[in-house]
Homo-oligomer: A and B are copies of this chain.
Amino acid sequence: MTSPLRVLVIGGVATGPKAACRLKRLVPEAEVTLIDKDDIISYGACGLPYFVEGLFSDVNTLIQTPVGVERTPMFFEKAKGFQVLTRTEALAIDRESKTVHVKNLDSGEERDMGYDKLVLAMGGHPFRPPIPGIDLKNTWYMTHPRHADSLVKEIEAQGLKKAVLVGAGFIGIEMAEALKERGLDVTVVEMFDQILPGILDKDMATFAAKHLRKKGVKLVLGERVTALRGETQVEGVNTDQQTIEADLALIAVGTRPSDQLAREAGINCAEKGGILINEYCQTNDPDVYAGGDCVVNHYYGGYAGREMFVALGSTANKHGRVIANHIAGQPTPFAGIGMTGIVKAFDFTMARTGLTELQAKTLNLNYETIIWAGPDMPHYYPGHGPLVIKMIASKRDRKLLGVQLAGMGNAAKRLDVAASVILLGGGLDDIANIDFGYAPPYSPPLDPLATCAHVLTNKLDGLADGVSPFESKALIEAGNVVLLDVRTPQEFEEMRLPYDVVHIPLGALRSKANELPKDKDILAFCKVSMRGYEAQRILNAAGFDRVRFIEGGIVGWPFEVKMMKSE
């Protein structure tokens, strides 16, 4: 009789519990033990900003199942059938003897635990910038229920009022909403000259930043935080250009993979951090698996690139399943990540999947982009909101390379479709052919993603001569461009681009085309530039060569517009 398979899991959030639970369902006789140095495990860290915002009042909700049972060691033992040891730190892995040297953080007792298969799921830790004042009181991170719980308590106890958030990534933006909604004054400082650096292209980030500012969030972009000021507690934040008053600092400048234990045991890691794994989440030691925030991933979109570190709860859960399946002898390869990300800021969504334009450029791909704007539902249906979509496709085969979305409309739906199309290698024609669910409460007759694919196809076919907003602004400010506004008189009276324009409503353009110069560059636009594109085609037909349109029109314009009437 063989002894049962011994599986040791290090790490009790997302990947670890997922792997252990699944494994016990697949191989009930396996002896599975999960250890974690913390006293609480299996919490939903992604929910922390929403607890701070006050959308639920008990932080323990994040460690409960949907029916309110707390995921304690007892829960896992009783309901899932494996042992959980909290306050138990793994100090070293001996791969030769297949043991992990662990320490009980309460008793101080140390011992060796044997394994047949080892699962590394230590997660990540927030990067702690090496700047003066980083240890001052009232400095927070936001990756653990303790952080959120103490933040809420101290805001109330101390009456904190002015928050400076360092870093405009996902957590920075979610926390900007959370603290603003709690009534604090919120400033976000970001070293790069855009929000969501590495996630959105600068043009989409600039468009999204406009909305954050409209909601009262102060954005300080392109400034590096050099110190937190204060005697014992935070009184301000110094950047390389200014001092910002603050009584609360939140550091959200990224997560780092907790790979030290693996590194010390000779497990291969990426140079910049993160355990290297194959498609079954195996490390270079086939008996050692790793997943979640302590590993690096590959992009599934078909373009070679370096492994990358992207910490996401969704990926961590997938890894857990892949690991359990492989240990159980039912291997299911992990395809990789789609570089998908989404974040809500108030009533606004920012999202991305696949390659950004910056990445496509860096990879030296032959690509084309479009920026499209329009409503997410028919205009007559209440609650419709605008969406701005940036779509990137290969010129060679018209496959979809990436999509970015921003706006108050339903971006999440189009994001997931784009992620699916990229995974399955689909192109612009495929997007146009998807039979999207159509009814007025959900979508216009042609889904925005399909319409956007149409416009990009038109651009690749040489029919639509669109100019991105950033390029348009540069052309306008360099002079010598005739700006042609083809909106209705009523629209023209409501808001305008803050430049000299020629205003000819589209319906009058055929008869008034002769009023426009053929020897100058014309840049047409309307609310979303559907009519801007039509104006280009009408003028082309009337013999104009030098006519293009501003992609996304006024709705997609990332800079200031001139409101003509007070709202």
Which positions in A face B, CB cutoff 8 Å? 14, 24-26, 28-29, 44, 46-47, 50-51, 55-56, 61-62, 64-69, 75, 78-81, 170, 174, 300, 312-318, 321, 330, 332, 334-344, 349, 351, 353, 375, 378-382, 410, 412-417, 419-421, 423-426, 429-430, 432-443, 445-447, 454, 461, 463, 487-488, 490-491, 506-508, 510, 527, 531, 533-534, 537-538, 540-541
Contact = CB atoms under 8 A, between A and B. Distances in A.
Nearest to A380: B61
Contact of A510 (B55, B81, B338, B425): B81
A56 B382 contact: yes
Contacts of A375: 66
Given A47-B440, A68-B488, A79-B531, 20 more contacts: A14-B445, A28-B538, A46-B445, A47-B378, A47-B380, A50-B441, A61-B380, A78-B510, A170-B439, A317-B446, A318-B432, A318-B446, A337-B435, A342-B438, A353-B435, A412-B443, A415-B437, A416-B436, A423-B435, A424-B430
B79 A334 contact: no
Contacts of A26: 463
Contacts of A339: 435
B340 A437 contact: yes
B447 A416 contact: yes
Nearest to A384: B66
A445 B412 contact: no
A380 B433 CA distance: 37
A336 B312 CA distance: 37
A24 B423 CA distance: 36
Contacts of A410: 412-413
Contacts of A65: 379
Contacts of A436: 314, 340, 416, 419
A540 B26 CA distance: 11
A511 to B, nearest CB: 8
B425 A28 contact: no
A510 B382 CA distance: 52
Which of A318, A421, A438, A463 has most chain B Cβ within 10 Å?
A: A438
Given A81-B538, A380-B47, A381-B47, A434 B416 contact: yes
A132 to B, nearest CB: 33
28 contacts: A25-B533, A44-B378, A44-B380, A46-B445, A55-B381, A56-B382, A61-B379, A64-B379, A67-B488, A75-B507, A79-B507, A170-B439, A300-B435, A314-B435, A314-B447, A315-B435, A318-B433, A339-B435, A340-B438, A344-B442, A349-B442, A410-B412, A412-B437, A414-B416, A419-B437, A420-B430, A423-B426, A424-B425
Given A421-B420, A527-B67, A438 B378 contact: no
A79 B426 contact: no
